[in-house]
């Protein structure tokens, strides 16, 4: 369900599911938060193919962001599908997360 690839010193997380909801949010949180066990970790969450995130899913993302900040890491979001981007904006979370339309642009933002 959670796929993690590396590009240099940046971890890129993607999903093999089209929704992040209460059934899987905790499992996702645990797996991604582990990436921030190392200080100054750089992580991109690629939301390509994820068309729905419920409140538990957004809570999960906020928890991961808190883990990143607590350990001087960076967390960025890439490729949100249109319905998910709308939810980020409705919840004003686009002001909390760095969100990029393209994974390449997101990767370049770390340089």
CATH code for position 12:
3.30.750.24
* Owning domain of residue 39: 2-108
The pLDDT tens digits along the chain (111 residues) read: 899 999 999 999 999 999 999 999 999 999 999 999 999 999 999 999 999 999 999 999 999 999 999 999 999 999 999 999 999 999 999 999 999 999 999 999 998
Q: pTM above the 0.85 mark? A: yes
Domains: count for the chain: 1
First and final C-alpha spacing in the chain? 29
């Amino acid at each position: 369900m959670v796929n993690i690839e590396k590009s240099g010193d940046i971890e890129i997380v993607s999903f093999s599911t089209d929704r992040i909801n209460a059934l899987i949010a905790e499992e996702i949180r645990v797996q991604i938060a582990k990436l921030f066990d190392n200080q100054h970790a750089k992580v991109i969450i690629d939301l390509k193919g994820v068309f729905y995130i419920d409140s538990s899913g957004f809570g999960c993302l906020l928890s991961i962001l808190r883990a990143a900040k607590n350990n001087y890491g960076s967390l960025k979001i890439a490729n949100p599908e249109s319905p998910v981007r709308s939810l980020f904006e409705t919840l004003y979370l686009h002001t909390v997360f760095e969100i990029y339309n393209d994974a390449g642009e997101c990767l370049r933002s770390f340089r």
